[in-house]
Structure 1
Amino acid sequence: MKTTIILTALLLSTIGVEARGGGGHGMSGTGSSSSSHSVSGYTRSNGTYVAPHHSTNPNGTQLDNYGTRGNVNSYTGATGTHGADH
């Protein structure tokens, strides 16, 4: 029974890593951060409306941001397009 639970947990954690995406060949991301927060919609000073969305928590690197090439936004399924220096 213990072995079944451990193997199931291990399998689920592996599937979770694949679903989040990771750095692949020629990619600059390291896998999207599992820590995120909701951002309310707002209007920029130039009048552009930004819709509500999720963002990774600040942590001193851009390598695990949803928008960085090689990462996948787990909320929308969108693949990152920016380099790590954006």
Structure 2
Amino acid sequence: MKTKGIIVVAVLAVAMCAPSFAGSHAKSSGYSAPSSTPVHVSGHVTKNGTYVAPSYRTAPNATKTDNWSSKPNVNPYTGKAGTKDPYAAPANGH
């Protein structure tokens, strides 16, 4: 009986991980999580003397939809949901 329980747990674990192994053949939900390697930002002191703690950010690129601050993405380090609309016009007009 104990063996059947272990097998059931193993099958469930594999089933839950299956979408991550599906590759490009998986159906898209329309959600695109940041896929580039995070960039480490060292702690530093700003010009006005404020200390900024070390952190990570998404690597720079030409798209705004894969940034952790963009909706519906979530920062994997802080758990904070993105709040910026990646399709909104920039506030400064550029």
Q: How does 1:37-76 map to 2 (within 5 A)?
A: 37-76=39-78
- CA distance in 2 between counterparts of 1:53 and 1:69 reads 20
- Alignment RMSD, CA only? 3.0
| Cα offset, 1:34, TM superposition | 4.0
Number of aligned residues? 68
Structure 1 runs (4+) deviating above 6 angstroms are none
Structure 1 alignment gaps of length 5 or more = 1-7, 15-21, 24-29
For 1:11, what is the secondary structure of its paired residue? Answer: helix
For 1:13, what is the secondary structure of its paired residue? Answer: helix
Larger Rg: 2
Q: Deviations over 1:18-61 (max 9, x none)?
A: xxxx73xxxxxx32234212111112223332211111111111
What is the TM-score when the length of structure 2 is the normalising length?
Answer: 0.55
Q: Which protein has greater RCO, CA pairs closer than 8 Å, 6+ apart?
A: 1
| Cα offset, 1:13, TM superposition | 1.0
Aligned to 1:17: none
Aligned sequence identity (%): 44
CA contact (8 A) 1:69 1:80 kept: yes
What is the TM-score when the length of structure 1 is the normalising length?
Answer: 0.59
Structure 2 alignment gaps of length 5 or more = 1-13, 22-29
